[in-house]
Each structure stands twice: as structure tokens, then as C-alpha cells.
Amino acid sequence: MKKEMKKKLIIFGIALVVIAVGIVMACTLKFNRSLEFGSYTNLNVYMKEQSNLDDVRQIVSEVFSGKYEVEYTDEFYDTVSIKLKDITDEQLQNIKDKLVEKYGFDEIDNYIIEIDVPAIRIFDLVKDYIAPIVLSFVIIFIYNGIAFRKLGIYKSVIEPLITIIIIGALYVSILAICRIPINEYTIPVGIFIYIMSLLGITANLNNKSKNFATEKKK
């Protein structure tokens, strides 16, 4: 028992340290975001006719070494969207000048629309998931509290509750510490971890309950 307790305390301690470091990283350096989920400058360029994306990429890469993306915006392949992360005004002007030079735009404002796209707020990303996670969480913990009541409220509800909160906090901390970019996979992977954690906790309670019943019979 003591060995098991010691092991639990060590794991708990390590988890707390990781979470603390994660909180500090998240507050200071903020989270890393993929291009689409972060703030970027979007240039919508109307090319007048079908254009080659590689030519546009060539122009951008000559001026800008940061993250960018070039793609068509519709099925006519005559309008290109250039997304540029953390670009300076000077670099932006250089790209525009090179585009004008290559494609012969007369009135630049008729052909290039520049928009500053803000980063998606973390709250906006997760807010739709709060209700189903909290609701399923509460129902499952009420169920566990009833189904495994013989183990006592601490083992059947409180300890699992702490476990799942720590797992969630660890996931977020690892994202912050390892600078894993927030992208379209972040939330689904979090949901996967949430569901697997709940299943693991319930399986563990099920085993403990059986052992408890067996020991009681003895």
C-alpha cells in the first residue's frame, strides 16, 4: 500500500510540475498556432486569367522567408489567396510591387485586396465543446458514484475527478511546453484523450470494485 501511495505521489508531483511549467509558458509565450489558426495577412489577388501558383510562390519566397500559403480561391483559378504570417509592411509592399510588375496590374486596388485576419480566440475554439464535455462528465461521475458507491465517495468520484482534471491540464501544458501548434487536430485529439481517460478510470473502478467484493467475501 505504501509503495503504491509513494508511486502515486511521485506521479502527481511530476504532473504538477509539468502543469506549472505549462501555465507559465502559456501566460508568457502564449500558445503556438498554425497559420490558419493564428493571425495573418491575406492578399486576395485577382489575376485576370488562369495563373500558375508556383509563379506566385516564387515571388513570395523571394521576399518573405516566414510561413505562408498560396492557393486558388475558386474553381476558375483566376484568383489567388496568399496568406502571410508575421509579415512586415515593407515585405508586403515588395510582394505587391513584384505582383504588379509580373502581371501588369494598372490600378492595384482593383486587383489586390489586403485583409488582416485576427487569430482565432482559444475560447471560441473550445466553447462549443464545453457543454457536451461538462454534461457527459457530470452524468458519468454521478453514475460512477452510484455504481461504485461501495468504494466510498473519495475513490469513486473525487479521485477520478482529480485524475481527469490533471490529464486535461497535462495535455494543455504539453501543447504549451512543446510549442505544438494549435490546429484542426488539437480539439479532436483532446476529445480522444478525454474519452479514453474516462474509460480507463471506469475500468479501474470496475477492477477495484471486484477486488473489494472478493476481499470482503474472504
Partner 1 sequence: MEKKLKIALIILIVLLIVIIGFIGVYSKDLISYDSALPDYILSSELTGKRVTYFKIDDASEDKIYDKDGNEVEEIPEDANEEDYTTESVKINPEENLTKENYKKSKEIFEGRLKDLGIEYYDVRLNENTGEMVVELEDNVITDTVLQYLLAKGDFSFTDSEDGTVLLERSDLKDVSVVYGNDETGAVIIYLDIKFTDEGAKKLEEVSRNYLKLEESDENTTDSESTTENEQKQVTMSIEGTEFLTSYFAEVMTTGELTIAVGSGTDDATIYQYSTQAQVYAMLLNNDEMPLTYTIASTEYMTSNIDTNTFYIIIGVVAGLALILVVYMIIRFRLNGAICSIAFISAIAMLLIMIRYTSTTISIGGIMAMLVLMAFDAYFMTKILKSIKENPSLENVSFVTYGAYLQKLDLIIVLLIIAVVFTFMPQVQIFSIGMTLFYGIVSLIIANLVFMRAMLVSKYNGSRS
- Interface residues with partner 1 (CB under 8 A) are 34, 36, 42, 44, 71, 73-75, 79, 81, 113, 115-121, 124, 128-129, 131-132, 135-136, 139-140, 143-144, 147, 183-185, 187-189, 191-192, 195-196, 198-199, 202-203, 205-206
Nearer to partner 1 by Cβ, of 17 and 195: the residue is 195
Closest by CA to 29, choosing from 168, 180, 166, 167, is 180
Nearer to partner 1 by Cβ, of 16 and 199: the residue is 199
SS3 136: helix
Closest separation in Å from C-beta 170 to partner 1: 18
Nearer to partner 1 by Cβ, of 77 and 100: the residue is 77
Q: Tell me the torsion sign for CA atoms 22, 26, 28, 32.
A: positive
Phi/psi at 78 (5° precision):
-110, 0
Cell triple for 63 = 521576399
Nearer to partner 1 by Cβ, of 18 and 190: the residue is 190
Nearer to partner 1 by Cβ, of 44 and 91: the residue is 44
Closest separation in Å from C-beta 31 to partner 1: 16
Helices (H) and strands (E) in the chain, counts: 8, 4
Cell triple for 99 = 505582383
Closest by CA to 35, choosing from 96, 82, 78, 98, is 82
